[in-house]
Amino acid sequence: MRQLLKDEKIPASVRAQLKTQYSEVQRMIEKLEKQQIHIVAFGKVSTGKSSILNALAGKHYFSTSPLHGETKRTQPLDWQQVQQQTIVLIDTPGTDEFEGEAREAMAKQAAKQGDIILFVIDGDISSSELIQLNHIATPEKAILLVLNKSDLYQDLDIEKIKASAAKKTAHLNTYWVTCAADPKPVTMIVKDAQGGSQQQTIKPDGDMVALKSAIWHILEQEGKTLSVLNASLFASEVNQQVAESIVQLRKNAATKIIKTHCLAKGIGVACNPVPVADLLLAAGIDVNMIRQLSGLYGLQLNKSDATKLAVTIMTQLALLMGAVWGVNLLSSVLKTLSVGLSTTLTASAQGALGYYATYLVGKIAEQYFAQGNQWGNNGPKVLVKNIVKKLDRNSILQEASEQILGLLKKRKS
Ligand SMILES: Nc1nc2c(ncn2[C@@H]2O[C@H](COP(=O)(O)OP(=O)(O)OP(=O)(O)O)[C@@H](O)[C@H]2O)c(=O)[nH]1
Ligand SMILES: [Mg+2]
pLDDT band at 277 (very low <50, low <70, confident <90, very high): very low
Rounded to 10 deg, the angle between the 393-412 and 343-370 helix axes is 130
Query: Could you write out the DSSP letters of every residue in 52-80?
Result: HHHHHHTS--S---SSTT---S-EEEEEE
Strand partners, 143: 117, 174
pLDDT (0 to 100) of residue 178 = 97
Of 391, 392, 389, 384, whose CA–CA distance to 367 is shortest?
384
The pLDDT tens digits for 337-377 are 444 445 556 677 778 888 888 999 999 999 999 888 899 88
pLDDT of 223 above 80:
no
| Structural contact between residues 93 and 106, judged by C-beta atoms closer than 8 angstroms | yes
For the CA of 54, the closest atom of ligand 1 is 15
What average pLDDT does the segment 27-40 reach?
A: 76
- Sign, CA dihedral 8-10-11-15, equals negative
What average pLDDT does the segment 48-70 reach?
A: 95
pLDDT band at 242 (very low <50, low <70, confident <90, very high): low
pLDDT band at 332 (very low <50, low <70, confident <90, very high): very low
Domain boundaries defined on the chain: 34-207, 242-412
Please report, as a single letter, which amino acid is at residue 26. Q
Is the Cβ atom of 97 under 6 angstroms away from ligand 1? no
Please name the fold of domain 34-207. Rossmann fold (3.40.50)
| Structural contact between residues 206 and 180, judged by C-beta atoms closer than 8 angstroms | yes
Ligand 2 centroid – CA 196 distance (Å): 42
189 vs 174 pLDDT, higher one: 174
What gap in Å lies between CA 389 and CA 380, rounded to an integer? Answer: 14
pLDDT (0 to 100) of residue 28 = 66
What gap in Å lies between CA 97 and CA 91, rounded to an integer? Answer: 16
Name the average pLDDT for the chain.
Answer: 82
121 vs 307 pLDDT, higher one: 121
217 vs 54 pLDDT, higher one: 54
Ligand 1 centroid – CA 113 distance (Å): 24
pLDDT band at 322 (very low <50, low <70, confident <90, very high): low
The pLDDT tens digits for 93-133 are 999 887 888 899 999 989 988 889 999 999 999 999 999 99
What gap in Å lies between CA 92 and CA 173, rounded to an integer? Answer: 22
Ligand nearest to the CA of 68: 1
Is the Cβ atom of 401 under 6 angstroms away from ligand 1? no
Query: Could you write out the DSSP letters of every residue in 134-192?
Result: HHH--TTSEEEEEE--GGGS-HHHHHHHHHHHHHHTTTS-EEEEE-BSSPPPEEEEEE-
pLDDT (0 to 100) of residue 337 = 47
Is the Cβ atom of 68 under 6 angstroms away from ligand 1? yes
| Structural contact between residues 121 and 146, judged by C-beta atoms closer than 8 angstroms | yes
Ligand 1 centroid – CA 92 distance (Å): 13
Residues across the chain: 413
Give the side-chain half-sphere CA count within 13 A for 396: 22
Ligand 1 centroid – CA 47 distance (Å): 5
